[in-house]
Amino acid sequence: MKKYFLSLVCMICVAFAFAQPPSGEANVGDVYGAKVSAKKAKPIAAVAASLDGNEPVKAKVIGKVVDVCSKKGCWATVELENGQTAMIKMKDYGFFLPTAVKGKMVVLDGEMQKVVTPVSELKHFAEDAKKSQAEIDAITQPKEEISFTAKGIRVVK
């Protein structure tokens, strides 16, 4: 009987361990992580274009969410210019985004920098985004991109 009960408890714990993105509509005014206001937010593309070197820069930016991790909501991409995007990660994985935030305008508060993302991480993100195996296999080179570590995100439009 003890083994049966212990097995049942283990199965329940495993079932809850498979994370899902938070539910919700991502309505205007919703905040994820630390509180952030829209005051003095600059367009993300303008701040990204002004980055010099690889040192992180504190910034409050506004941009349109293009994609969100469908597994947990643990990352997002925000539109820059010319079809480019910035990778958004949540500080210390302290919060996650609902998939409903895709296509919405958000204000991000945190640090932005240029980074080189290794192939293994790019493939991981492609898997999270449910890309085809052909698209994942086509990733063979690291990518220089803009990375933003958000401590807070507010939906504004």
The per-residue pLDDT for range 13-46, each reduced to its tens digit, is 444 444 556 777 889 999 999 999 999 999 999 9
DSSP 99: G
Q: Which domain holds residue 80?
A: 19-155
Question: Would residue 5 count as lying in a domain?
Answer: no
Q: Is 127 helix (H, G, I), strand (E, B) or coil?
A: helix
| Mean pLDDT within 49-70 | 91
CA torsion, points 63, 67, 69, 74, in degrees to nearest 10? Answer: -10
Number of structural domains in the chain? 1
89: in domain: yes
Cα three-residue angle 72-155-97, rounded to 5 degrees:
5
Q: Residue 134: which residues within 8 A CB-CB, separation 6 or more? A: none
3 lies in some domain: no
Asked if the model's pLDDT at residue 149 lies above 60, the reply is yes
Q: Considering the domain boundaries, does residue 12 fall inside one?
A: no
Q: Is the dihedral of CA 11, 12, 13, 17 positive or negative?
A: positive
CATH number of the CATH domain containing 142: 2.40.50
Contact 117, 142 (CB under 8 A): yes
Closest CA to 32 of 74, 87, 80, 61: 74
Q: Does residue 7 form part of some domain?
A: no
44-53 residue pLDDT tens: 999 998 888 7
Contact 114, 50 (CB under 8 A): no
| E strand or H helix that includes residue 82 | none
pTM: 0.78
